[in-house]
Copies of this chain bind each other. A is one copy, B any other.
């Protein structure tokens, strides 16, 4: 039997009614002849409640205990989903991460899946079971402790199962009906994409389009797992949602696939850094070691042996970044005049694999923003993406103008 993986996020299993609704969708796929692996998240709100318990109990918590506590929400949903399917006469059983076992690294709270042995579940399928319901987001370390994969980890669980079982497709059911050219809440012309390439999705995911977790897209790309994003709140339709697939499976596409934005970005400037060979390493190595996720980096032209170094990082890491820089200065590893942190910025990006073969996308982007009177503070580019930092108040205007200019409302 072909295997299908179906993943239901927290809002799709938030109540017993929604679990029933999700189970009906599973039943439809079983009726088509699939052996189905269902990956479930915790009922929405549950994980936050548990995280709240842990943080209140122990601000600097032992991540192993954090994982033991926080993973329990998925176990509840897995059992309830199996029971719901059984009520519909669909042979099903639940698996917790350690039962499969989903073998991960020991990096608690952000473990990576290393292996998913398929023997147990495959044997159950051979015995007539139609659905394996697996608690997402969790696994077991080499030491036998429970691990979790980090926020959004259930997407990664789903893709890893799809890869391990050679699934025909991995359907991610969520509360949006697909991937859009931009955020429909800030641009009403936003259009749902039928297909998007892995590389584009990867850029959009890491840019803050919260549809799929970045790691799950990376994994899908590496193992060529066809990913479909679709809403669990709309009527079923085989053509529904957005298929995330190989570039070759997309016949024609716009040069630009989408416009992304992120408010969660701060600009940090080290003013008047003593410039010398190795200064970039001296700045960014301690930041990386402290877990600061540096995104964009710009170094100004050096004058008289001193330069300004600007970088961006998530807003909630600003304090940590400042502390690390002051410590490095105190140790004499770097030398600068002052640090300026600016949280009043946002990042706007245009993404598209078509950029590889089309010149002038960056120029057009800059022109559009200039026409709107929007000043660009920082620029970075990759092969299929151009990102700029602009003042936060221009976010909606920038997104709408770019969406229009690249004609993203036209399919």
Contact = CB atoms under 8 A, between A and B. Distances in A.
Contacts of A84: 57-58
Contacts of A71: 75
A61 interface: yes
A409 to B, nearest CB: 43
A36 to B, nearest CB: 17
A75 B68 contact: yes
A79 interface: yes
Interface string A19-41: 10000000000000000000000
B53 A66 contact: no
Contacts of A58: 83-84, 86-87
Nearest to A73: B72
Interface in A50-95: 50, 53-54, 56-58, 61-62, 64-66, 68-69, 71-73, 75-76, 78-80, 82-84, 86-87, 93-94
A126 to B, nearest CB: 17
Interface in A274-324: none
Contacts of A144: 99
A65 B53 contact: no
Interface string A132-159: 0000000000001110000000000000
Count of this chain's copies in the oligomeric assembly? 2
A68 B94 contact: yes
Nearest to A71: B75
A57 B93 contact: no
Interface residues of A, number: 36
Contact of A72 (B19, B75, B98): B75
A269 interface: no
B72 A72 contact: yes
A106 interface: no
A53, A66, A84, A144 — which one has the most chain B CB atoms within 10 A of its CB?
A53
A96 interface: yes
A96 B66 CA distance: 13
Contacts of A82: 62, 65, 68
Given A62-B86, A93-B64, A99-B144, A54 B80 contact: yes
A47 to B, nearest CB: 12
A68 B79 contact: yes
A56 B20 CA distance: 11
Given A16-B53, A83-B57, A99-B144, A68 B78 contact: yes
A16 B53 CA distance: 7
A86 B64 CA distance: 12
Interface pairs A-B: 3 shortest CB-CB = A69-B79, A68-B79, A58-B83
10 contacts: A16-B57, A54-B83, A65-B83, A66-B83, A68-B75, A68-B78, A68-B96, A69-B79, A69-B80, A98-B98
